[in-house]
Chain A
Amino acid sequence: MLDAALSALGALLDPTTLAFLVAGVLAGLVIGIIPGLGGTGAVAILLPFVFIIEPHQALALIIGAVAVVHTSDTISSVLIGIPGSASATVLMLDGHEMAKRGQGARALAIAFLASMAGGLLGAVGLTLSIPLARPLVLNFGSPELFMLTVLGISLAALLSRGNMLKGLVAGAFGLLLGEIGAAPAAADYRFTFGTLFLNEGLDLVAVALGIFGIAEVVSLVARKTSIASGSGIGSGWGTGLRDVLRHWTHVLRGAFVGIWAGVLPGVGATAGTWMAYGQARATARRKGKNKFGKGDPRGIIAPESANNSVEAGDLIPTLLFGIPGGAPAALLLGALLVFGIEPGPRMITDHLDIIYTIVWSFALASVIGAALCFLCSFPLAKLSFVRFPVLAGGLVVILFTSGFQESQQIAVLQIMLVLGAIGWLMKSTGFPRAPFLIGFVLSVPLERYYYLTANLYSFSDWALRPGVLVMAAVLVIPLVLAAVRWAKARTARTAARPSAGAQSPAGDTPADEDDSDADGTAAPPGWTVAVTGGFLVVFVGGFLLAQGYSEKARLVPTLVCLLGAALAALALAVQVYRRRGTPPDETQAKAWRAELGWVARAFAWLVGFVVLVYVLGLLLAALVFVPVFLWRVAQLRPHVIATYTAVLLGVLLLLQGFADIALPVGYLTPAILVA
C-alpha cells in the first residue's frame, strides 16, 4: 500500500500532469467565485477538453477543479451574502455576519485555512479508509440512510432555535417544495401542474439562488450603501489563523462529517456541510457563550472544512463502486472509462496507484487552491465595502445565468423571481430560511429511504440495527437533556425575566436567530400574520392536491402538509394572540412603508430584466439592462458604466463560447448569438 502511495506521488510530480492540475485548479476557482456555478459549471467548463486531451491529463484537470470549487464559492457567500453554491449557503450565517461587521478578510482567511485543512484531512482520511471503506459502506443500509436523513431534518429545529414555530413551518415548506416532480417510490409526478418542466423537480441551485440570492439583492439594492458597516478592513490573516488554530477540533470534526457525507451515496454536499455546521453548533452550546449565527469563527470552520472533504469522500463511491455522487464525479468516471479503467472493486487490487494519484492530486489541488484564495482574501474583502447597487447590476445577470444552467429551461427564471419574493417575505417576517433549505434538500432522500426501509425490512428488523440505535440516541439524548435543563431553569427564569418579552411577534429571542433582520426593517405584525396565513393556504392546497396521487406517492406529502398546516395554524394563533392589545408602532410602520416602496422598485427592475431576457435573450438583455441599471440606480459615471458592461458581456461570451455555459435564448435573439 505504501509503495503504491509513494509511486503515485512520483507520477503526480510529472510537470505536464502538474500543469494540468494547476489549470484545473484555476478553472475551478474562477467557476467557484461566480455565484451558483459550482459543480455543474465546472463540468461545463471542462467538458469541451476532457475527451480531447490525454486521459491522465484529463484526470488531473478534473481533480484540480473538483477539489477547489467549494473553496472559492465561499467568497460571494461571505462577502456579499449571495450563495456561491448551494452548499455555501451555510456560510451566509456566521461568515457573512462577520463580513458585515467589517471583518471580511478575517472570515475569508478562516474559511480558506479551514478549506485547506479540510482538503488535506479528506485526502488523508481517504488514504486510511480505502481498505475499510467497502465493508463500512456495505454496513450502511437503507435504514441507516433513513435515520441519517431524519437526523439531518432535525437540524431544521436546531437552526430555528428561538424561533421554533416559524422555523418548523419553513422546514415543512422546504420539504413540500422538494416533493415537486417524480415521486421516488411510485410512477406519479407531483405538484407539476401539467408542466413537463417541473417533472424533474426544482433545481437546488435555482432554489438557493432565488430564496437567498434574489431576496438579498431585492432588499439591498435600494439601500445604496455597502454591505460591511465597519470602519476599515479590520483584522485579517493573523486573527483568522489564530481562530483556526484555537478551534482545531472543529476542523477535524467538520472534515470527519464531510468525508462521511461524501462516502455515503445519497446524502449530498449541501446536506453534508449543513450537518457539519449543525454538529458544531449543537455541541459548542455548552462551552460558554454561544455566538453562533452572529459571526462565530466555529460556524465558518466546521462547514468549510467539511465541504472540501465531502468532495474527497465522494471519490470513494465513484472509484470503488462506480457510483458517481454528482456531475463532476460522473465526468471523472467518463474520463476513467476512456482511460480504460473501470471503477469497481478491482480498483484496489489492480489500480491502487491510480487511486493514490487521484487522492494526492486532490490534496495538492486543495492546498494550491486555498493558498491562492488565502493570498487574495485581503483584496477580495474590499468587495464588501463597495456600494451594493454597483455590485447588483452584474449580480442580477449572473444569478439568473447560474440558475439557468442545470435545467436550461427559461421558465426557471420566473421560478427564481417567485422564490426571491418568497425569500424576501420570509426574511422580513422572521421565518428563518436555513430550515427551509434543509427540508428542501432532504425531502426526496427522506421519502426514498423511508420506502426502501419499510419495504425491505420489518420494523423490528431495522429499528434494532446498531447504527439506527446510535443515531436515534443522538437524536433523543439532546432532547432529554434540554428538557431537564429547561425544567431546572424554568423557576429561575420566570422569576428573573424582565417584561420586555414581546419584542418580535412569536416571542423570539433575536439573539439566536440565524436570519438576522438587522439589515432590513422588520415587517409589521399584520404582514407576519398574512405570510403565516399564506403558508397555511399552501399546505392546505398541497394536502388537497396530494389526495389525487397513488398510495405510495400520497403518504409523505400528506403528512408533510398536515404537519405544516398544523404548525402554521398554531403560529397564526400565537401571533393573533400576542397582537391583541399591542398598539401599532407608528415609526416602524412608516419605515416599513418606505422599505416596501424600495423593494417593489428593486423587484420591478428584476422583473424588467427577466422580461427582457424573454424577448431578447440573456446577452442582449444584459446589454440593455446593465447600463440603464448602473446609470439610474447605481448612478455611476458613463465611462465606468461602459467598462463594467463590456467586461460583463465579455465574460458571458467567453463562458458561452469556450465553456459550454448556456445562455437563455429569447424570442428575438439573433441566430448569431445562439451557441
Chain B
Amino acid sequence: MKRTTTFGSRARVVVATMAAVGLAAGCANPQGLGSGGGEASSEMPTRTELVIPYSEGGGTDTWARFLAPYLEKHIEGNPAFTPKNVPGGESITGSNQFVQSGGTDGSQVLVTSGTTYFQALLGRSEVQFDFTTMRPLMLNGTGGVIYASPSTGLRSAKDLANPEKPLTYGGISATGLDLTMLQAFDVLGTKLDATFGFEGRGPARLAFERGEVNVDYQTTSAYLTQVKPLVDAGKAVPLMSFGMSKDGKIVRDPNVPDLPTVEEVYRQLHGKAPSGEAYEAYRAFLIPGYVYQKGLWANEGTPEKIVQSYWDAVDKISKDPKFASSSEDVLGGYPLYSGKEAEQELQEAFRIKPEVREYTLDMLKKSYDVTLDGN
C-alpha cells in the first residue's frame, strides 16, 4: 500500500467513462466470418473453411472433420479444408454468420445438421438463413429405429392400434429431433405420453433401460450398438424405422431390413397409404431431419462450377477404398449423396406450407402442451 490517493474526481471520471464505453460496446458485435462478399470468382479457392455451427467434439463436428481429408483429396483443385467452429444458439448463431458474410467464392462452406434445419422449419424468428435458395453440396443421412419395452405388451408395430398400456417416451426437447418421433405417432394416431428434459438420447435410453419410460427411438447406429443387445436379451421390442429415401420414396432402411417403415405400419393399421396434414408435416421434417441430416451448403449465388466440383467429388469419395473401410462407423452405413440428387427434395421440404407448420405447432400444443416463443 504505497499510494494513498483517495477516491477522487479522477476516479469518478474513469468510472463514468467505463460505463459509457461499456454501454456503447454492448450494442455492437464486430465478429464476422472471414472475407465475405466480394466478386465471386468461379475458380476453386486454395483454402476452404468448414464453418461448423456446433461445438468441438460433437457428432456434427466429428462428421465434418472425418470428411475433411477426403474432400481435400477428391475435390477439383484440392483446396485445403480447415474446420472452424462457431457454436451457440442451437446452431443459429454460426449459420446466420455464414449467410451474413455472404461469401459466394467457395472459400467457406456451411456444415449443417438436423437441428439447424428444424429451426428454419419451425419458423424461429432469429433464423436468417434460407435453405430453399442455398445450394446443397453434399449430404449424408441417418436413420432412426423406434422400439418398445416388452412390458408394454407390444410384440410388433401392429399392436400400436390399441396398446394395452399407456406408452411413455423420454425426449430432449419437443422442438429438436424428437419432433419426428412425435409426428410419427401423430401420423399413426397412437397416443404417446412424452416427458421432455433429458440431456441427450443416451440418458433417455438409460431411462428406457431402467423402466422409467417404455418407448424410445435411437439413430440406427446407436440402435445397432446399444439397443440390439437388449433386443437379443428380450428386453426391447423393435417396432419400426424411419426408413431412408430412394428416388423420392421412403423405403426400408438397409441397416435394419426386417423393420417396417412408419408408412408400412400406417398401411397395416389403416389399410391405406398415409396422407393428409399429419403425414405432410411428418415428411417435411423427416427429409431434412434424417434422410439428409448432415450436409455441406454454399450460399446462393455460388458459381455453378464450384458447386459442380463438390457434386462430382461425391462419387470419387465414395469409391475411395480408405473411405469405404472407415466410413461405415462414422457415417452409420448411409451413403453420401451429392447435392444434385437431393436439391429438389430438400427445396420441397423447406418450402413448408404455412398450414403444415401451423398444424405442427398446434399438434405440439394440443398433445404435449408445448408452446414456442413468439408463436
Contacts and interface: CB of A to CB of B under 8 A. Distances in A.
Interface of A: 40, 43-44, 47, 50-52, 137-139, 141-142, 182, 184-189, 196-197, 199-200, 222-224, 265-266, 317, 321-324, 327-328, 330-331, 333-334, 337-338, 340-346, 406-411, 414, 417, 447-448, 451-452, 455-457, 550-552, 590, 593-594, 596-598, 600-601, 603-604, 607, 610-611, 614-615, 660, 662, 664-667, 671, 674-675
Interface string B57-88: 11001100110110000000000000111111
Contacts of A598: 3
19 contacts: A44-B56, A50-B65, A51-B68, A184-B197, A185-B197, A200-B89, A266-B199, A317-B202, A322-B222, A331-B56, A334-B62, A334-B65, A337-B62, A344-B225, A447-B197, A451-B197, A601-B14, A603-B18, A666-B30
Given A141-B207, A607-B22, 17 more contacts: A51-B68, A141-B210, A187-B371, A187-B373, A188-B373, A199-B92, A321-B226, A337-B62, A342-B221, A344-B226, A409-B31, A410-B30, A414-B22, A448-B197, A452-B170, A594-B6, A671-B35
B293 interface: no
A328 B58 CA distance: 10
Contacts of A47: 56-57, 65, 83
B328 to A, nearest CB: 8
- Which interface residue of A50, A187, A330, A597 has the most chain B CB atoms within 10 A? A187
Contacts of A327: 55-57
Contact of A456 (B30, B85, B88, B195): B195
Q: Is the contact region of chain A dominated by helix, strand, or loop, or is it mixed?
A: helix
B203 to A, nearest CB: 6
Contacts, number: 217
Interface in B3-52: 3-8, 11, 14-15, 17-18, 21-22, 25-26, 28-32, 34-35
A344 B229 contact: yes
Contacts of A334: 57, 61-62, 65-66
A601 B11 contact: yes
B358 interface: no
A40 B207 CA distance: 28
A600 B9 CA distance: 12
A149 to B, nearest CB: 13
A597 B8 contact: yes
B326 interface: yes
B90 interface: yes
A142 B30 contact: no
Contacts of B197: 184-185, 447-448, 451-452, 455
A593 B6 contact: yes
B169 to A, nearest CB: 11
Given A323-B202, A340-B329, A600 B11 contact: yes
B18 A604 contact: yes
A617 B83 CA distance: 20
Nearest to A667: B30
Q: Closest 3 interchain pairs by CB? A: A323-B202, A330-B57, A597-B7
A484 B137 CA distance: 71
B213 interface: yes
B314 to A, nearest CB: 20
Interface string B83-118: 111111110110010000000000000000000000
Interface string B191-208: 000011111101101110
Contact of B203 (A266, A604, A671): A266
B89 A51 contact: no
A137 B87 CA distance: 31
Contact of A343 (B26, B88, B225, B373): B225
B202 A345 contact: no
- Which interface residue of A323, A327, A341, A662 has the most chain B CB atoms within 10 A? A323
Contacts of A196: 88-89, 92-93, 96, 126
A452 B199 CA distance: 11
Contacts of B226: 321-322, 344-345
A417 B62 CA distance: 33
A185 B92 CA distance: 21
A660 B56 CA distance: 10
Contacts of A322: 202, 222, 225-226
Contacts of A407: 87-88
A373 to B, nearest CB: 25
B25 A338 contact: no
Contacts of B34: 671, 674
A673 to B, nearest CB: 12
Contacts of A417: 22
Nearest to B330: A337
Contacts of A457: 212
Given A322-B226, A338-B329, A410 B62 contact: no
Given A346-B229, A410-B31, A596-B7, A611 B21 contact: yes
Contact of A594 (B4, B61, B326, B373): B4
Contacts of A43: 56-57
A607 B18 contact: yes
Nearest to B35: A671
A321 B206 contact: yes
Contact of A265 (B203, B370, B371): B203
A615 B30 CA distance: 8
B342 to A, nearest CB: 24
Nearest to A326: B57
Nearest to A55: B326
A44 B85 CA distance: 10
A664 to B, nearest CB: 7
A603 B30 CA distance: 23
Nearest to A141: B210
Given A265-B203, A665-B32, A186 B93 contact: no
Contacts of B224: 342
B229 A594 contact: no
Interface in B227-284: 229-230
